[in-house]
Chains A and B, each alone.
Chain A
């Protein structure tokens, strides 16, 4: 027993002199483990946000949502919108030391579009032919597809050397600014600077450790005690713990997430437009933004967010908060005393859970009794997302950089149309929008699509929550993106 105690004491004493690593190193906190790094197989958001630093495609997204060159130095689109010609950057090396060739691009993109090999092939069905031509890659489409370039920025369209195919999931080899030097599942991932990266200015830091910390409390506490340098996405509930601290800085901006109270338009009483409109009048967005997001959110009125720039149409004035009007509409629809309904809330998302609880209290005031059921994400995906067997739910729809992918889920036949929204005008306009090559005309069409959703009160669109990044004052180079990535290469610590 004495020996045991002595041993324990020795271990405790050792703790006082743990080694401090030298050199440029940053620790970034992430909440979940990635599901692997094969660009075609991995689908977790946690993988995509890290892969942004390991892999590159022909083009990539910029912090303002525009599309910028990556492996392709420049590109040209034929006037009919069918042929894309990419000129590859010279002297790009993979992490295994081999030079990038046009054949690698052809191999990866062909495999990506093959429905037998890649679960992501659905987005690329319009691709007719991919061919290498000298230092160029030519992609031919069956019909004009205004989304195509944006799709090439996604993780799935990353380029890797053919010979590493088998082990890619755990040993990613790409052309990105970092290599994956260690991966302890459930604990951490270590990214090391790739010295032969084509942009010699990047990355600014030699080693970045991504520490997996599922609990936000622990994440914040680790930041406060200096065990972590940066939290890319902080839950707003924990904001108060970091606000006003002189050693920290907070960078927040709309994250391009559509948070909504989804309504099943196909079931009574929600198949009545007046009931859906009543819900829209009864929900007080400002109170939700204060109550659930601690003020860090922007109200929205349709299925796009202000982060989408010119595509976005502000429709928040369509349904101002007006409980009297809501009661009136309910009475007209035949529910003068309200009714009872059920709301599913996804357990792992406190922002949606909190918003749902506040909405339930708001609806109670106009006579709608809401029974809340907090369910696990797995159950939510099955019952709500797949089977669409629900009445109300609160969820967030991840933003893309092209409006089409955001809006086509309301196409009446879409498998992702969880609201069972149906409008012939909407369906027809979607088809025309995809084929339209004139930018201005296209913008007008997508604004009209948003208006249709609002007029039909397809859902109650709540807010675009802010991405809240918190880091030490000495950290520089951080940018929030309107897509789900972490850009770690420009990060550094000032001396």
Chain B
């Protein structure tokens, strides 16, 4: 029952988001037909192209048309951008960029955060601790796109170590594709890693103060065993929840990084579709993005009761 309710709420939110974006886009000035005809447009042609695109219908009719299509699994066709291609295909082709990018970024940020956070927590107030804190504060304060610009210039262009942007298809060149994602993922990982470092540190500090740690120490276990086997394991439960939230933030942050590195991901697809007033494509892209975020939220929500028994009763 709890799951059904959650699922229902999720679908309702999706519907709300789609209706909101549809309305907003409908009232955006700028007309796809005008974009198609460019600077040479004459009124007669405009009407013809608008009719061809179905833009002459009232808003509710257009929305219903879109929604009934979605229920049948048809997200429509792009109006301007690669006209003739289905929205579903365009969106699906963007996912293998955005999802691995976000996944790699969260992976790198954990790789950064867990050792640093654990180290800092092992000697609270020590020199190492304050260094880690300063580092994480700094990492948190650097704009990702600035880091991207500098990384492209100095690491990709001047040193030539990694591709400067763009990305080949996974199918055509899997190695090249992975390499293209490396620098953007690192750039994206830094601020997230900075936040996660603090979370790991706090969680570790709390775990290290618990009774069972004292018991473990009392048993004469080495400090390394105490930290890695006992404290870290417990701290990771909290960290994994927060990491999920960070993943959502990451998906949104990916947009700017995709722009800086010109990666053909979901964020960039949506942004260019908005600029081109390509309604079906924007709808499809936002829908996919919102569904992705909500699915993650759903997963997170369902892990909360497992971690914190106090909420279980209320839910």
Contact = CB atoms under 8 A, between A and B. Distances in A.
Contact of A381 (B34, B89, B174): B34
Given A122-B42, A383-B29, A398-B39, A11 B175 contact: yes
Contacts of A12: 175, 178-179, 182
B93 A185 contact: yes
A175 to B, nearest CB: 21
B162 to A, nearest CB: 10
Interface string B85-125: 10001100110000000001001000100000000000000
A186 B81 contact: yes
Interface stretch (B56-64, B163-171, B186-194): B163-171
Contacts of A398: 39
A440 interface: no
A227 B163 contact: yes
B42 A415 contact: yes
Interface in A327-363: 347-348
Contact of B83 (A36, A222, A377, A397): A36
Contacts of B264: 186-187
Nearest to B178: A11
A186 B90 contact: yes
Contacts of A183: 82
Interface string B48-87: 1100100000000000000000000000001011111100
A224 B153 CA distance: 12
Given A170-B85, A217-B165, A122 B175 contact: no
Interface string A36-51: 1000011111000000
Given A12-B175, A222-B164, 9 more contacts: A5-B107, A8-B107, A119-B37, A122-B44, A186-B81, A186-B90, A221-B157, A376-B30, A382-B34
Contact of B176 (A18, A45, A383, A416): A18
Interface residues of B, number: 60
Interface string B9-41: 000000000000000000011111011111111
A382 B44 contact: no
A379 B35 CA distance: 9
A487 B182 CA distance: 36
B29 A379 contact: yes
Interface residues of A, number: 58
Contacts of A211: 166
B34 A221 contact: no
B107 A43 contact: no
Contacts of B174: 11, 14-15, 18
Contacts of A119: 37, 45, 48-49, 52
A348 B160 CA distance: 29
Closest 9 CB pairs of A and B: A378-B30, A15-B175, A221-B164, A185-B82, A218-B165, A381-B34, A36-B83, A169-B84, A11-B178
A187 B179 contact: no
A485 B35 CA distance: 20
Given A35-B81, A36-B82, A416-B39, A213 B166 contact: yes
Q: Which of A36, A187, A227, A395 has the most CB of B within 10 A?
A: A187
Nearest to A35: B83
Nearest to B157: A221
Interface of B: 28-32, 34-46, 48-49, 52, 78, 80-85, 89-90, 93-94, 104, 107, 111, 152, 156-157, 160, 163-166, 169, 173-176, 178-179, 182, 259, 261-262, 264, 269, 272, 275-277
A398 B38 CA distance: 11
Given A378-B31, A378-B34, A378-B275, A218 B164 contact: yes
A211 B264 CA distance: 12
Given A122-B44, A184-B169, A43 B38 contact: yes
A215 B275 contact: no
Given A217-B152, A222-B164, A227-B166, A386 B178 contact: no
B184 to A, nearest CB: 12
B265 to A, nearest CB: 10
Contact of B175 (A16, A185, A214, A378): A16
A36 B52 CA distance: 15
A42 B277 CA distance: 17
A283 to B, nearest CB: 22
A17 B174 CA distance: 10
A4 interface: yes
